[in-house]
Structure 1
Amino acid sequence: MKSAHLYICDHLSLLRPGVDTTLAMARSSRAAGYESYWCLISDLVWRNESLWVFARPFDGEHKVEPGTWLDANHVFKGVFVRTDPPVGREYLAALWLLDAAEQKGLSVWNRPSTLSWANEKTLILRYPDLIPPTRVTNRVDELRDMIETEGAIVLKPLDGNGGRGVFVATAEDRNLSALLETATEEGQRQVMAQKYLAKVREGDRRVLLVDGEALAVLNRVPAEDEHRANMHVGAAASLVSLDADDLRICSALTESFQTLGLRFVGLDIIDGYLTEINVTSPTGVEEVLAGGGPDLCAYLMDRL
C-alpha cells in the first residue's frame, strides 16, 4: 500500500517558516498518517521502467535528514510539484520524467505535462474575456504605445515570481526610456505589460482553488510605499469572502482547469480582472488558517 507523500521543492533552507505552504502541506501529510519526503528537481532518475527519487524525510521543518532512493510509483500516494519559478532545463526534464511516471499511475499535482508549458504569466492569455488590457512584447515602441493608450502600465518578467522585477511605468516617468530598455533587456527579452489597475490600492485578491472549487480568498493590500501586493514585500493580507467577480472568474475557469489537470491553483484578481494564474507553487494557506479560514492543507490531503 502506498503510504507516503513527496514534495518536489526548493531547498529547505529557502522555505520560510510560518508562511510557506510547502512546509504546512508536509505537516498535514504527517498529521494524516502519511510519511512525508522532499527532494530537489535534480533528484529524479529514470531506471528502466520506473521513476526513482533520492528522497529525504520531511516533517515540515528545516532539518535536512539523510536521503534514500525510492521507487516513486510503489511508494508515493501523491507527489506535489512545488518548485518556484523561473523554469529551467532541469525543471522541464523533471516534468518529463514525472509525466512518464504519471502515465504509469503516479498521482502528481499539478499535471506535469501542463506545468511544462503553462507559464504563470501567459496562461491568462487563454482567457481574454477575463483579463485587463494586456500585451506581451520585447519592443519598446509597443510598450510606449500602450502607455499612451492606457496611461499607466505594469511590467512583469515572464519568468519571475513573488513580484520580482515588476515595475509601474507612466509617460511622466523621467526614467521611462531606461526603465523600458532595462525591462526588455534592450529588446532581447519578452515582458508582459498590463493596464495599471488603480484599485490595487484596495487589494489584490488571491483566490485558492482545489479541483476547481474556490475555498478561500486573501485580500492583499500593498504597503504605502509599494505598488506590489506580494506579502513578502510588506503587503497586508486579510481573509475575505468570495465576491461576484471571484465567482464569475472561477466558474469560467473550472472546466478548463479540470481538463488541464490543474488541481491546486491560486488566482490573482484585481478590480474584477484576472491578472495571473499561479500553478507551480500556490501560497497563502497559512495566512488563510491564521485568519480563521479553512484548513486547506487538510482538504488537500482528503482529495488525494
Structure 2
Amino acid sequence: MKIAFLADPLSGFKIYKDSTFAMMREAARRGHQIYAFEQRHMVLEQGVVTADVVEITLTGDPDDWYEAGEAQTLRLAEFDAVIQRKDPPFDMEYVYGTYLLELAERQGARVFNKPSAIRDHNEKLAIGQFSEFTSPTLVTSSGTRLRAFHAEHGDVILKPLDGMGGAGIFRIKDDGLNLGSIIETLTDNGARTIMAQKYIPAIVKGDKRVLVIDGKPVPFVLARIPQGGEVRGNLAAGGVGVAQPISDREREIAEAIGPKLAERGLLLVGLDVIGDFLTEVNVTSPTCFQEITDQTGFDVPAMFIDAVEKAADRK
C-alpha cells in the first residue's frame, strides 16, 4: 500500500512518544510505502486535489529518524490511504483542509478519519450526542447562565471549545474566586461560547484516554494523572500517564459510542473518561499509542494499521 500522512512538520516529532510516528513505523514494518505532507502542501487546481508529498524512509536513528525523498506532486486519489493527523487548533485553516480532503474523496481518495466527520464532531461539543454518559454540562456564552450553573453545582470546570492539551481550562470551587473574571476572559465578554461541567473528583485517579479503533476499544487505557495540585491530567500540562486495563464502565461507554462513530467514518477516536463520565471525543489526532504499547505490550499501532488495511480494502 501507499499511505500518505497529513501531519504537522516532521522536524517537530518527538518520536519516543509520537503516535503518528508509531503508525508510520508499523506501516513501514509491513512493507507499505510511507509519504508525508502538511496541510499547506495541498492544492486544488482545475478541480483536482493534489499535494506536494515526500516519500519517507525510517532510519532507526532516534535523532535523524527519517530520510525524505524529493518532493513530488501527486493526486491524493493515487494513495491507498490518506491518514489525517494534523493537530489542532481547529481553526478556519483546519476547516479549509477538511474541504480539500472531502473534494479529494470525491475523486477517489480514501481518507481516515473522514474529513466531514472530523468537521462535524467538535471534540468538546460531541459529548452532547451522548448525554447519558456525561456529568452535568452547560454550553453557552451567557455569563448569567454560567454563574447560575456554578451556583447550582458549586465546583465546576470552565473551558474553551477549541482548546487542546488542557489549554484554557479553569476550575472554580465553591467560593467562586475569580469566577467573573474567568467568565469574561473565556467568553470574551459574551462573544464566545464555552463549556461548563460539574467537577468530577475522580480526576485525581486520572483522565482516562480510551482509544477506539474501527468501533472497537483498545483493551488498555492511559490514565493521565494530574500532578502537583494541577486539575488537568493532560500530558501536555504535566500529567503522568499510567496504562491500565480498561474498566467495565469505560468499556460500556466505548462499546456504546464506538460503532456509531465508526459508521460515520471515524476510524480512530480517543474518548476521554473521568470516573464514570465521558468528557471529550477526540477525532483530529488522538494520541497515547506508544505509552499504552510500551507499558502493557499491547500493540496499538498494529491494531490501527490492521484497521487501515481493512478499511482501504472496503472502499
Q: Calculate the TM-score normalised by the size of structure 2.
A: 0.90
Question: 1:12 pairs with 10, 13, 17, which one?
Answer: 10
Question: Helix, strand or coil for the counterpart of 1:6?
Answer: strand
> For each residue in 1:136-185, what CA deviation from the matched residue of structure 2 results, as whole angstroms up to 9, or x when unmatched?
11111211111111111111111111101111112414322212211111
Amino acid aligned to 2:297: G
Equivalent of 2:180, from 177, 193, 211? Answer: 177
2:271 — aligned with what?
267
Superposed, 1:214-293 pairs within 5 Å as 214-215=217-218, 216-293=220-297
The match for 2:312 is none
Give matches, 1:120-159, under 5 Å: 120-159=123-162
Q: How many residues align?
A: 301
Kindly report which structure 2 residues correspond to 1:26-45, keeping only aligned pairs within 5 A, or say none. 26-45=24-43
- Residues 247 and 42 of structure 1: is their aligned pair in 2 closer, same or farther, counting only changes over 3 Å? same
1:54 counterpart = 2:52: yes
Instruction: Give, as a single letter, the amino acid of the residue that structure 2 aligns with 1:247.
Output: R
2:127 match: secondary structure: helix
- Of 185, 190, 205, 1:187 maps to 190
* Alignment gaps of 5+ in structure 2: 59-64, 310-315
Q: Give the match's secondary structure for 1:155.
A: strand
Corresponding residue SS for 1:7: strand
1:27–1:59 Cα contact (<8 Å) kept: no
Which 5+ residue runs of structure 1 have no aligned equivalent?
none
Counterpart code for 1:143:
L
1:93 counterpart residue number: 96
Which stretch has the larger CA shift, 143-152 or 50-59?
50-59
- Helix, strand or coil at the partner of 1:116: helix
Question: Which residue pairs with 1:115 in the alignment?
Answer: 118
Q: Which stretch has the larger CA shift, 280-289 or 102-111?
A: 102-111
Q: Distance in 2 between matches of 1:238 and 1:254?
A: 23
Contact 2:154 2:173 in 1 (8 A): yes
> 2:89 & 2:256 partners in 1: Cα distance?
27
1:121 Cα deviation (Å)? 0.5
Q: Name the SS of the counterpart of 1:127 in structure 2.
A: helix
- State TM-score, norm by structure 1: 0.93
Conserved? CA contact 2:210–2:270, under 8 Å: yes
**Percentage of identical aligned residues:** 33
CA–CA separation in structure 2 for the residues paired with 1:259 and 1:132: 25
Amino acid at match of 1:191: I
Stretch moving more, 91-100 or 281-290: 91-100
Q: Using the TM superposition, give the Cα deviation of residue 263 of structure 1 relative to its aligned residue in structure 2, in angstroms.
A: 0.8
Contact 1:9-1:83 at 8 Å conserved across structures: yes
